[in-house]
């Protein structure tokens, strides 16, 4: 059987750059549940301001001179940061599988952005982004654990939510391992500054090497960044705990001013979904009856209303991915009663999957579901669902 059509049914494409649960400069432990609203240390309003590199630098008291054996990876014998790639590799290796929380605050010519991004050692992930552009405030959040993801976006007076299982769209890979991730975000700011070692800082019983910059490196002097001032706190092992920078970008004879502050908490310890996850049905998809039926279960949260229509795509063989506009059969099933938390409905199909039937109890159908993909949209609540079962390992797009 040819893999069936997988049309994009999501109501809103939530651009989910990130946020996290409680962040600091790498010295303070943060314990508790994922936060309810905006970042604990990063707020964004129509009159936002971001702490500048100069004021942050003055908050750190230099306690001594750094010795050569304290220099982080990538720092040359003369104290100059010459190899950002080396410090990036050390930083990534140190935080990739740890419980960490990242906070980024910034201003740009069009407004301001604040986001937090946290991931636990077990892979649980939370992010939140708040931005103000031309006076319009937007907030987007992601909570993900295992194969499931939940998103929420607030734009003006409208709230959009999605529930996903083994489905694309929850957390693009670039956010967990890209420029804006805890693995990379603190390091990226270092590339545009001519950083050199400028003493050590003692905080919370830890030693940080302070690096400062007051210009652009020679090898990047022909780029878009034309002026740069910054301060960074880095452990001797290469973990970038904080970077605060002010810089100018020039393009087409126009110069624009930017401010950015990045802090990483490597002692973050948090658990549990944010409260807003309880506002949506936490749907889950699986096969039953030796794959002759599949189950849609409400695992918790809100009640799924009656008359919710799911579009179903299925295949009798494992699919690498359901292709959009592929030739194949798809159908719809509609719930006839509310689906309370803990309740489930079951779906079977005839032999060629040309007809699907909804049941209140498990039943054995003629069709074998090796892969299943279901989608639904609740227009009244701006909520979308995209659930997949049978996705090959490694194909979940987190």
Q: How many CB atoms lie within 10 A of CB 15?
A: 12
pLDDT of residue 46: 26
DSSP state of 304: B
Indicate the pTM of the whole model: 0.69
CA atoms within 13 A on the CB side of 393: 0
Q: What's the CA gap between 187 and 33, in Å, rounded?
A: 27
Nearest to 186 by CA among 112, 105, 83, 250: 105
Q: Give exposure, 105-122, as e/b (b: 16+ Cβ within 10 Å).
A: bbbbeebbbbbbbbbbee
303 by DSSP, 3-state: which?
A: coil
Q: What's the CA gap between 386 and 398, in Å, rounded?
A: 14
The correct answer on CATH 2.60.40 for the domain covering 280-389 is: yes
Cβ(375)–Cβ(393) under 8 Å?
no
Q: What's the CA gap between 204 and 27, in Å, rounded?
A: 5
pLDDT of residue 36: 37
Domain boundaries for CATH 2.50.20 within the chain: 30-271
pLDDT of residue 13: 19
Cβ(49)–Cβ(180) under 8 Å?
no
Cβ(285)–Cβ(165) under 8 Å?
yes
pLDDT of residue 45: 26
Q: What's the CA gap between 85 and 74, in Å, rounded?
A: 7
Report in angstroms the alpha-carbon separations of 331 from 97, 110, 158, 187: 41, 45, 30, 48
Q: Which residue has the tokens 């600091």?
A: 24
Per-residue pLDDT of the chain (398 residues; tens, 9 = 90+): 333 222 222 122 122 222 222 233 333 333 334 433 332 222 222 222 233 333 344 466 778 899 999 999 999 999 999 999 999 999 988 888 788 888 888 888 888 888 888 878 777 778 888 888 777 888 888 888 877 888 888 888 888 898 988 865 444 444 454 445 666 677 888 988 999 999 999 887 889 999 999 999 877 766 788 899 999 999 999 999 999 999 998 888 889 999 999 988 888 776 678 889 999 999 999 999 999 999 999 999 999 999 999 988 888 776 554 443 333 456 889 999 999 999 999 999 999 888 899 999 999 999 999 888 888 887 667 888 988 886 544 344 33
Token pair, residue 78, equals 């003369």
DSSP state of 339: B
pLDDT of residue 330: 67
pLDDT of residue 129: 80
Cβ(385)–Cβ(377) under 8 Å?
yes
Q: What's the CA gap between 208 and 79, in Å, rounded?
A: 14
Report in angstroms the alpha-carbon separations of 195 from 83, 88, 221, 235, 295: 11, 14, 14, 15, 57
Cβ(211)–Cβ(199) under 8 Å?
no
Query: Among positive and negative, which fits the CA dihedral 379, 380, 381, 386?
Result: negative
Q: What's the CA gap between 213 and 204, in Å, rounded?
A: 25
Q: Which CATH architecture has domain 30-271?
A: Clam (2.50)
Angle made by CA atoms 91, 96, 102, in degrees to the nearest 5: 75
| Cα distance from N-terminal residue to C-terminal residue, the chain | 28
Give the residues across from 104 on adjacent strands.
Answer: 115, 262
Task: Please give the backbone phi and psi of residue 232, each rounded to the nearest 5 degrees, phi first.
Answer: -135, 145
Token pair, residue 166, equals 């083994």
Q: Which residue has the tokens 């309880």?
A: 278
Q: Which residue has the tokens 């040309």?
A: 354
Query: Among positive and negative, which fits the CA dihedral 174, 178, 183, 184?
Result: negative
Length in residues, the chain = 398
pLDDT of residue 303: 95
Domain boundaries for CATH 2.60.40 within the chain: 280-389
Token pair, residue 102, equals 């990242």
């Amino acid at each position: 059987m040819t893999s069936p059509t997988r049309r994009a049914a999501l109501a809103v494409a939530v651009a989910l750059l990130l946020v996290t649960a409680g962040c600091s400069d790498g010295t303070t432990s943060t314990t508790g549940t994922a936060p309810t609203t905006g970042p604990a240390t990063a707020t964004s309003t129509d009159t936002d301001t971001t702490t500048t590199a100069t004021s942050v630098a003055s908050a750190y008291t230099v306690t001594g001179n750094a010795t050569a054996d304290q220099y982080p990876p990538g720092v040359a014998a003369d104290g100059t940061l010459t190899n950002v790639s080396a410090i990036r590799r050390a930083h990534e290796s140190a935080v990739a599988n740890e419980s960490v929380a990242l906070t980024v605050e910034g201003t740009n010519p069009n407004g301001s952005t604040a986001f937090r991004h946290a991931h636990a050692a077990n892979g649980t992930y939370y992010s939140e982004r708040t931005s103000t552009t031309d006076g319009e405030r937007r907030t987007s959040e992601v909570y993900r654990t295992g194969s499931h993801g939940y998103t929420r976006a607030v734009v003006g007076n409208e709230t959009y939510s999605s529930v996903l299982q083994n489905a694309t769209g929850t957390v693009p890979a670039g956010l967990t391992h890209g420029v804006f991730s805890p693995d990379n975000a603190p390091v990226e700011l270092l590339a545009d500054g001519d950083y050199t070692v400028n003493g050590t800082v003692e905080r919370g019983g830890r030693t940080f090497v302070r690096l400062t910059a007051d210009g652009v490196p020679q090898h990047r002097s022909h780029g878009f960044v034309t002026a740069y001032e910054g301060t960074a706190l880095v452990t001797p092992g290469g973990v970038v705990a904080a970077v605060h920078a002010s810089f100018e970008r020039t393009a087409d004879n126009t110069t624009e001013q930017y401010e950015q502050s990045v802090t990483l908490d490597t002692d973050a310890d948090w658990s549990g979904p944010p409260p807003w996850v309880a506002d949506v049905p936490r749907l889950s998809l699986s096969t039953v009856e030796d794959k002759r039926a599949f189950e849609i279960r409400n695992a918790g949260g809100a009640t799924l209303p009656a008359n919710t229509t799911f579009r179903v795509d299925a295949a009798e063989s494992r699919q690498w991915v359901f292709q959009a506009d592929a030739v194949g059969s798809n159908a719809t099933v509609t719930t006839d009663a509310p689906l309370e938390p803990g309740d489930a409905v079951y779906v079977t199909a005839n032999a060629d999957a040309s007809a699907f039937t909804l049941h209140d109890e498990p039943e054995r159908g003629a069709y074998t579901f090796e892969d299943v993909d279901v989608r639904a949209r609740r227009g009244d609540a701006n909520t979308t669902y995209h659930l997949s079962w049978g996705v090959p390992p490694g194909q979940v797009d987190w």
